[in-house]
Each structure stands twice: as C-alpha cells, then as structure tokens.
C-alpha cells in the first residue's frame, strides 16, 4: 500500500502491546476453572488450499478420501490471533525481539496464549505444558467444486523494508505482528502473478467458496479470562464499521473473518467460523462428592448468542491502537473496492524507500 499508488500491499504489520499477565497455568490434575466443548463450523469465503506439504503438492489434504483441515492448522490460526489480542509473547526464538515481547521461558510463568495453547521450555531438564485446549480436524460437511490456480506456496515476493517497519516507531523493532487483508473480490480466482513470480508458481487444486467443515474444540481448566479470550478469537465480531484514511470509499462495514491455509497474500483462505454449541461440564471437586450424575450445561441459539456477547464484550469494547488496526485487517466487506497486489520486481528496484498509506 505505497503512497501515491492505487494498489494495496496484501499484508501489513500492526503494533502489539508487550506481554501481559504472566502466571502459572492451571494444571490438569487440579479441578478448577471451566471445561467443556465447542462445536464449530468453518465455511470458506474465497478459494481454500491446504496441502500435505510445500514440496510441489498440488492436491488438497484429504482424510478417508475427503478434504480435511488439520486441527493443528486451526490451532495455529487461533493461537496467532490470541497472541495479538491477548498480549501474548512471540512464541518463536528470535534474539532481535525485545525482552518484554520475547517468548515465555518457564512453564510456571506463562502468558495467556501459552497457558491456553501450550509451551515447551528449552535446554536441559526442559518441561512441557501441553496446553488446556485440544482441537480436532475439520471434517467436510458440505462439499463443492474445485478450481486450478497458480500460486506460490513459499514467500511471494521481495522483502521491502518499509512494509516491515513498526507504525509506532518507524523502525524494525519487532513490536508488530503481520496480518493479511481479506480480498472479497477473489471468489473464483487469485491475484495474477507477475512474469517474474510466475516462474516459481505451482498449479494447485483449491476448493471454491461454499465448502463447510465441522470441528470440535475441547477445553479444560481455563480461567474466566482465558475462556473469554479463546471465545473471542474463535467468534471474533459480527458488526464492525471502520474508517480508512486512504480509500475512495472511506468506510468499510461487515464482520471480522479468519484466514487459514496457503496463498493468503493472493486472496485465498478467507473463512467464516461459527460456534454452534457450547457444552460446559462441572470440573470442580463437587464431581467427586456425590455419586449423582451431574448434568452438563448445553448452550444453543439465543442462550449461546448471549453467552458469546457477554464473554467477548471486553474485546469488542477495546479501542486500543492494536485492536483498531486488528479490525482494519480482519474486516470482511463484500463491497471493499481495494486492489490488493504485490509491486512487481521493477517497482522494488526503483522505489526502495517509499512510504506506506495510512490505514
């Protein structure tokens, strides 16, 4: 999204806050907190592709002959959002990351995303917290057609320094996270690659919009705040209105949506995720004080909607810089007029220090 250009770069770094609220996780042998199951669906809004690997694999990953979304892919997507929204650490080792943003070191002092999704120590006698969430594979419920596309499964272009500078400091300070814009125009195709990039492209068979997958999320011993964060990164927000400084139509309206799989810079992977049912089970010590059968609390329809609204209110009301920028990246507006594409190779050579548009 360089200034004085009509196109927008497919990604942007948004500022994040330093790691907050480190403490020990609730261990699995202690019956505290909230436990239960989410029943969820995922519907792809743009072409979707998840391959077996990045080594010239053109077919969608399958299980028992049907397309499948691995639970690990879903978990990684939710965790990356929780790290932004929940003031989590950078969970990978990088010596350039400032200490107040660096990965958690010990399992008895973890940020909220590490408590929820898990963490492994480094070095001798390293310990593991396996996390309090387990996510199953996304199994196909409603099928559809496929389309053959040309995409890159690796990095799509030359790194351009202005695209990686912090909006707060104007420097490469590792206080930001990378997100990709949705591209609602990409319903049946993807961004056309330049001749320079097409030489590295691979033909893949992607799923056209309208495929629906079902998956379950099991959670145990989550604190109220941890549960609220988990529900937010799954449900996101349904009605958002944002203003962009550099757009002919300066207001975008719509829900926040997820992105998953390969080809995000080219418009692939936008999806709608819904929580259709929540079951809470009694995990307190009361379970063992009586032989009476305890009934689970099952939330559907209006009860479910009310529960989600109450538990996500804190995040929906958050008007911090991080959350404002987060919404601008995650909003899905069917009428979004922007043209998303990478600058070509010649542009990079001629415009090494161009400033970016303000969002």
Per-residue pLDDT, 156: 46
Most confident region among 15-19, 163-167, 176-180, 212-216 by mean pLDDT: 212-216
Identify which has the larger pLDDT, 338 or 167: 338
Q: What gap in Å lies between CA 90 and CA 84, rounded to an integer?
A: 9
Confidence of residue 92 (pLDDT cuts 50, 70, 90): confident
Most confident region among 36-50, 56-70, 166-180, 236-250 by mean pLDDT: 36-50
**DSSP bridge partners of 219:** 36, 133
Identify which has the larger pLDDT, 243 or 349: 243
Tokens of 90: 């950078």
Q: What gap in Å lies between CA 256 and CA 182, rounded to an integer?
A: 10
Per-residue pLDDT, 173: 77
Per-residue pLDDT, 93: 77
Strand pairing category for 251-254 and 176-180: unpaired
For residues 21-41, average pLDDT: 85
pTM of the shown model: 0.91
Confidence of residue 158 (pLDDT cuts 50, 70, 90): very low
Per-residue pLDDT, 5: 72
Residues 6 or more apart in contact with residue 95 via CB below 8 angstroms: none
Per-residue pLDDT, 303: 97
Q: Has residue 355 got a pLDDT over 80? A: no
Confidence of residue 157 (pLDDT cuts 50, 70, 90): very low
Query: Which of 39, 44, 40 lies closest to 212, judged by CA?
Result: 44
Cα→Cα distances 135→76, 86, 116, 138, Å: 10, 19, 12, 9
Question: How many CB atoms neighbour CB 343 within 10 A?
Answer: 20
Q: Has residue 222 got a pLDDT over 50? A: yes
Q: What gap in Å lies between CA 172 and CA 183, rounded to an integer?
A: 27
For residues 88-99, average pLDDT: 86
Calculate the average pLDDT of the chain: 86
Collapse the DSSP code of 48 into the 3-class scheme (helix H, G, I; strand E, B; otherwise coil) and give the result. Answer: strand
CB 196 within 8 A of CB 345: yes
Per-residue pLDDT, 246: 63
**DSSP bridge partners of 39:** 216, 277
Per-residue pLDDT, 319: 96
Per-residue pLDDT, 342: 77
For residues 6-33, average pLDDT: 84
Least confident of 109-118, 131-140, 258-267, 280-289: 280-289
Residues 6 or more apart in contact with residue 251 via CB below 8 angstroms: 241, 242, 243, 244
Q: What gap in Å lies between CA 11 and CA 330, rounded to an integer?
A: 11
Convert 161-175 into a string of H (helix), E (strand) and C (coil): HHHHCCCCCCCCCCC
Identify which has the larger pLDDT, 281 or 352: 281
Query: Which of 244, 246, 249, 312 lies closest to 278, judged by CA?
Result: 312
Q: Alpha-carbon Rg of the chain, whole angstroms? A: 21
CB 114 within 8 A of CB 91: yes
């Amino acid at each position: 999204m360089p200034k004085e250009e009509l196109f927008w770069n497919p990604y942007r770094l948004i500022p994040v806050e330093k790691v907050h609220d480190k403490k020990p996780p609730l261990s699995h042998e202690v019956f505290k907190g909230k436990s239960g199951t989410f029943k969820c669906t995922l519907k792809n809004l743009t072409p979707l592709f998840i391959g077996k690997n990045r080594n010239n694999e053109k077919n969608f990953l399958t299980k028992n002959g049907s397309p499948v979304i691995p639970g690990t892919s879903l978990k990684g997507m939710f965790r990356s959002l929780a790290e932004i929204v929940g003031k989590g650490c950078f969970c990978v080792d990088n010596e350039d990351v400032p200490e107040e943003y660096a990965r958690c070191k010990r399992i008895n002092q973890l940020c909220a995303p590490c408590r929820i999704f898990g963490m492994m120590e480094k070095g001798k006698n390293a310990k593991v917290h396996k996390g309090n969430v387990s996510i199953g594979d996304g199994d196909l419920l409603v099928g559809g057609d496929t389309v053959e596309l040309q995409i890159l499964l690796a990095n799509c272009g030359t790194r351009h320094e202005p695209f990686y500078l912090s909006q707060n400091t104007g420097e490469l300070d590792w206080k930001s996270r990378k997100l990709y814009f949705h591209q609602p125009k990409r319903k049946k195709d993807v961004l056309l690659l330049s001749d320079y990039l097409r030489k590295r492209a691979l033909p893949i068979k992607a799923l056209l919009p309208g495929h629906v997958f079902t998956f379950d999320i099991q959670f145990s011993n989550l604190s109220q705040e941890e549960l609220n964060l988990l529900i937010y990164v799954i449900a996101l927000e349904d009605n958002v209105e944002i203003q962009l400084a550099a757009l002919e139509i300066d207001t975008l309206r719509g829900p926040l949506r997820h992105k998953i799989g390969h080809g995000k810079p080219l418009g692939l992977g936008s999806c709608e995720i819904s929580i259709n049912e929540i079951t809470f089970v009694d995990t307190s010590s009361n379970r063992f004080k009586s032989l009476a059968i305890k009934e689970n609390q099952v939330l559907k329809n209006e009860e479910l909607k009310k529960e989600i609204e109450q538990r996500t209110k804190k995040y929906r009301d958050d008007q911090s810089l991080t959350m404002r920028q987060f919404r601008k990246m995650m909003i899905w507006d069917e009428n979004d007029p922007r043209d998303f594409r990478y600058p070509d190779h010649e542009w990079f050579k001629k415009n090494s220090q161009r400033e970016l548009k303000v969002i």
